[in-house]
Chains A and B, each alone.
Chain A
Amino acid sequence: MAFINKFGLVLSILLLFTIGSIGIGIGLGLVDTNLILTYANDPHHKMVIIQIGVLMWIIGLLIVYTSCIFSHEEKGIAFQNANGEVKITRKAVEDFIVRVCSQEPNIRMVKPRVIIKKKYIKADLVVAITSDVPVAHATSELQVRIKESLEAGVGMVSVKSVSVRVEEVFYTGGRLRGVEYTS
């Protein structure tokens, strides 16, 4: 969604520049308005213009939608008290998850992504595990461990969900790629 947002932003800027350039061109007499009118009056070209217009609307709506989503996402967990504010950044929370995972013998790699909302946080993890234990067992244990550690270690925060996606399984003699398991 972030990509769509950036892409939409770039496209919107380009569109504004184009419209601005056409306006300047018409004003300075560099663009023939009759040529534009002739193009726009052609039935085939009308369809093209309508399609471009619809596309612009869709991109605009996507930008508004993604902006609404990201405006609700916090950049960190903040606690206010008499002495000021304590803010734990998202990176610190993600670091914390990496540290928790480093204590787990079956977890070989972790890529955490934390979504912080006003009243709770959600953690999405991509992990690589060893083949010593059943995947379901390892991931469910990890979910509980992460939730408990976050609530105890970060403090004053409710963990709504911990999603784990197993991207790789390491077994004796090599590793399996592309194994997916989401719990």
Chain B
Amino acid sequence: MVDQVGIGSVKVSDEVIATIASVAATQIEGVAGMSEGIVDGLAKIITGGQATKGIKVSVGEEEAAIDISVIVEYGYSIAEIGRKIQECVKNAVESMTGLKVVEVNVYIQGVHLIDEKNDEKHEKGRKLK
């Protein structure tokens, strides 16, 4: 992003926008976490863990589009969480960077049960008891 006010420019990197979006999304009730794809995993290996997982940012001069992949918690309305993520991410990025967010595309990649890790019988979400 370039913000020209006559005395120079301000640039906000894609990673910063991704971090803002990630924090905004994970603060929503019902969001279990970000979903890490194969590309993110490879990027993390190559860059040494610097990649912001589950977020793809496309930034223009004054506008931005964000793709965000998340895992939601079981028991919440998935569509409702999706809409909340869109609103929160859009508001957070717009208020913090001044960029106009034209679209926030949310990809719900999985559903997570809150006490899943403590359930020893639950293997890979398939064998139940």
Seen from chain A, the residues whose Cβ lies within 8 Å of a Cβ on chain B are 76, 79, 81, 83-89, 91-92, 95-96, 98-99, 101-102, 105, 107-111, 152-156
Contacts and interface: CB of A to CB of B under 8 A. Distances in A.
Interface residues of B, number: 34
A102 B128 contact: yes
Contacts of A102: 113, 122, 128-129
24 contacts: A76-B107, A83-B86, A84-B65, A85-B106, A86-B79, A86-B82, A86-B85, A86-B105, A87-B107, A87-B108, A88-B78, A88-B108, A89-B108, A89-B109, A92-B72, A92-B108, A98-B126, A102-B128, A107-B129, A153-B75, A154-B79, A155-B77, A155-B79, A155-B80
Contacts of A83: 83, 86-87, 90, 103-104
A81 B103 CA distance: 9
B87 to A, nearest CB: 7
Nearest to A79: B79
A60 B128 CA distance: 42
Interface of B: 65, 71-72, 74-80, 82-83, 85-87, 90, 102-113, 122, 125-129
B126 A99 contact: no
Contacts of A91: 109-110
Nearest to B82: A86
The prevalent SS among residues of B at the interface is mixed
Contacts of A76: 107
